[in-house]
Amino acid sequence: MRGLLLIASGVGAGSRLAAMRRGVSSAALRAAVSLSDDSRPAESPAERPDAKHLVRNSGNRVHIERCTSLAELDAAAERYGHLPQVCFAGESNAGKSSMLNHLIGQRVSRSSSVAGKTRSIDFIVVNDRVVLTDLPGLPARDGQTTQLWDTLFEPLFHAYLDSPIDLRAMFFLHDCRWRVSTPIRAFVDEMRRVELPTVLVLTKDDQVEEPAMRNVHLSKVTKRLDWTGMHIHYSATNETPNGRKSRRQVLRYIETFAELGSREECAAKLEELAAERAARRAAASVSPASAA
């Protein structure tokens, strides 16, 4: 497998990106991406008690721009570049689509047990106030989507990062039961290098039968990723208290990111929250005997 991330300079990546921007995309791109946008802007809902929130519990007005080429990506970035934006990334089948559907309260993303269902960069514009971007899944551990990522999605992803949008932060999703692969670790390291504020989301928490195993999975994932930042356990269901709680947590993060003025402020806020959490855990680990 090629390296997960292209170096966006030199003949290989540069010429391919330039060709795609001129509309000279490969036959593979035209054949692999054949999604139609079945989402249409809904009528404005009546004034609601929760209208002050960017994402409401129900009745959200949603419009989706599905970008399958660099030309479409450029157009969407120009159209919605003024809105605060957060993106959702993760390995194929990590639960991005289910999480987005759960957050927004309607089916906005195609969820499937088949890896690589998301074959575009989807700008999900919610209430004309915030953009939640669904990125194509990173190569799955079984290699099902490696070729799609290498030839189609990776150039789009780099163009997205370089586009003139107000990208505040990323939610990086990882199935809490999965071992972290080397390519996934490389991706997370790259996001650190480009200084994109990131929250780790451990998904499918409701499928862990033993509650004690949650911490075991957490320890393994954070150790492999060398992760000291903020994390959330997420269950994409309203049928359990943990599912409802995790949804509220993510929506609060989105509200905070949107209220802050820049990506740098979002990064500083996440560092502050992580430091506070570490201090609380350190204090809780000190017994009365040792404190005396």
What are the tens digits of pLDDT across the range 237-284? Answer: 999 899 999 999 999 999 999 999 899 999 999 999 999 999 998 888
pLDDT at 76 exceeding the cut of 60: yes
* Token couple for 189: 């390291």
Q: Is residue 20 predicted with pLDDT exceeding 80? A: no
Going 176 to 178 to 180 to 181, the CA torsion angle's sign is negative
CA distances from 129 to 86, 95, 246, 254 (A): 12, 24, 22, 11
* Coil, helix or strand at residue 211: coil
Residue 140 has a pLDDT of 65
Determine the residue type at 20.
M
Return the pLDDT at 48. Answer: 52
Averaged pLDDT of the chain: 80
Domain ranges of the chain: 57-284
Gap between the Cα atoms of 13 and 239, Å rounded: 45
Read off the tokens for 244.
Answer: 């409802």
Residue listed under structure tokens 């049928």: 239
How far is the C-alpha of 139 from the C-alpha of 124, rounded, in Å?
22
* pLDDT value, residue 200: 97
Any residues with CB less than 8 A from the CB of 150 and at least 6 apart, and which? 1, 2
Given a contact cutoff of 8 angstroms between Cβ atoms, the answer to whether 183 and 212 are in contact is: no
Alpha-helical regions (H) of the chain: 10-21, 27-32, 70-80, 96-104, 146-148, 154-162, 182-193, 212-225, 241-259, 263-285, 288-291
The CATH architecture of the domain made up of 57-284 is: 3-Layer(aba) Sandwich (3.40)
Asked if pLDDT for residue 226 goes beyond 90, the answer is yes
Question: Identity (one letter) of the amino acid at 156?
Answer: L
Highest mean pLDDT among 18-22, 41-45, 70-74: 70-74
pLDDT band at 148 (very low <50, low <70, confident <90, very high): confident
Higher pLDDT: 138 or 31? It is: 138
Mean pLDDT, residues 3-21 taken together: 42
For the chain, what percent of residues have pLDDT higher than 90?
55
SS3 content of the chain, % helix, strand, coil (to 5): 45, 15, 40
Q: Express each pLDDT in 23-63 by its tens digit.
A: 434 333 333 333 333 443 444 444 554 568 999 998 999 99
For tokens 């139609």, what's the residue?
Answer: 36
Tell whether pTM > 0.95: no
- Mean pLDDT (whole number) for 54-78: 94
| Beta pairing class for 198-203 and 166-175 | parallel
Find where tokens 């402020």 sit: 265
